[in-house]
Amino acid sequence: MKKKIQDQIVEDALLREVVEDVKNEQLQQIWNKYGLYIIIGIALILTATISFESIKAWREKKDQELSNSYSIALSLHNQGRLDESLDLYNSLAKSNSGIYDDLAKIQIANVYFEQEKLEDAINVLETMLKDSGTVDQMKKIAALKLVSYKLDNNAPADEITTLINSISDDEELSDIAKEMTAMLYIRENDITKAKEEYQKIIASGTAPDTLKSRALDMINLLSEK
């Protein structure tokens, strides 16, 4: 509000200055020739300022509404009111709002998994991976969820490896990718390679202590076999 008042003061001062210049006989001819362009210029500046402020205010209000809707949907989800939360998630998923519609799609997949609608859940996640509009980090989260599901359901190893490779170059997720790879090797009965992946986690400078501890436990467990 303060900025708008300051802008208005500046604009009023500019208009007064123009009027005073018009009264000056030496500038009368200039005004007669260019006055219309000055007025148009001022109008364009004012329009641009108003448009920018209006869009900014609308965007802030829209973001707050989306945030509130997502929070309500998440609360309903946590209460086990899956159908109600799904309605809100679906609404957000169609909002074309970037991060919120991607978050909503992840949660839609979660609801479908909980409802044992496995094909629907997989379809949501795979569609996110194919969609060029999906935020990159959300694609990687979708890939992680798919890896977890496919590991538990004996999907072909090459499918799982492809998904793991899509997240292995992410610094924040690379160590989790190593753990997923180790789990795949265990599933394929390649214990030596599984232990190698866990050793990489232990030697990693970015892996959290909890992940390193879990990797060490797995190496000890696999060494007993």
Per the document, the length of the chain is 225
Beta carbons within 8 Å of 195's beta carbon, 6+ residues apart: 182, 219, 222, 223
pLDDT at 29: 53
Global pTM?
0.66
Q: What is the pLDDT of residues 88-120, one digit of tens each?
A: 889 888 877 667 888 889 889 989 988 999 999
pLDDT at 48: 45
Cα–Cα distance list, 48 to 6, 41, 54, 105 (Å): 16, 11, 10, 36
Label residue 48 exposed, middle or buried (CB < 10 Å: 0-12, 13-18, 19+). Answer: exposed
pLDDT at 33: 53
CB–CB of 190/211 below 8 Å? no
- State yes or no: pLDDT of 178 exceeds 70: yes
Question: Considering the chain, what is the average pLDDT of its residues?
Answer: 77
- State yes or no: pLDDT of 24 exceeds 60: no
Query: Which conformational region is residue 81 in: left (phi greater than 0), alpha (psi within -120 to 50 degrees), or beta?
Result: beta
pLDDT at 133: 86
pLDDT at 57: 55
Residue 59 banded pLDDT, cuts 50, 70, 90: low
Residue 31 banded pLDDT, cuts 50, 70, 90: very low
Q: What is the pLDDT of residues 113-168, one digit of tens each?
A: 889 999 999 999 999 999 888 888 888 888 888 888 888 888 899 999 999 998 88
